[in-house]
Amino acid sequence: MPTFVGLIMKENTHPESYRLVVFKDMSNDDMFLTRSTVETKETIQWQDGNEYPLYKLDISSTSHPFYTGKSKFVDTAGRIDKFKKRYEKSNK
């Protein structure tokens, strides 16, 4: 049975510029604070009264159907109509 006691990790493989960042799910306004190296231009005041960088997400685990078990209606009809109109124009 192999043992991993003497494993040597590569040095300088992970960034050292981790800081606290607020991630906001724009589909349901859920927010969470975690450490990240993501670059942001906006900030937000968090529940603890401190201001943190803000990163906006289109979807997160609090809104994704896989994690919530709920399907979300997506306006595909409008997209399909737009595609058909463009396709009709190119065929004429």
- Mean pLDDT calculated for residue range 6-11: 69
Tokens 């009709």 correspond to 88
Q: What digits encode the pLDDT tens for the residues 41-51?
A: 999 999 999 99
Mean pLDDT score of the chain: 79
- Mean pLDDT calculated for residue range 39-63: 90
* Long-range CB contact pairs, 61-70, < 8 A, 24+: 62/25, 62/28, 62/30, 63/25, 63/27, 63/28, 63/30
pLDDT score recorded for residue 3: 56
List the one residue out of 19, 12, 56, 50 whose CA is nearest residue 34: 19
8 Å CB contact between 21 and 52: yes
Q: What digits encode the pLDDT tens for the residues 78-87?
A: 777 777 787 7
Instruction: Confirm whether pTM is higher than 0.85.
Output: no
pLDDT score recorded for residue 40: 93
| C-alpha span between 15 and 30 (Å, rounded) | 27
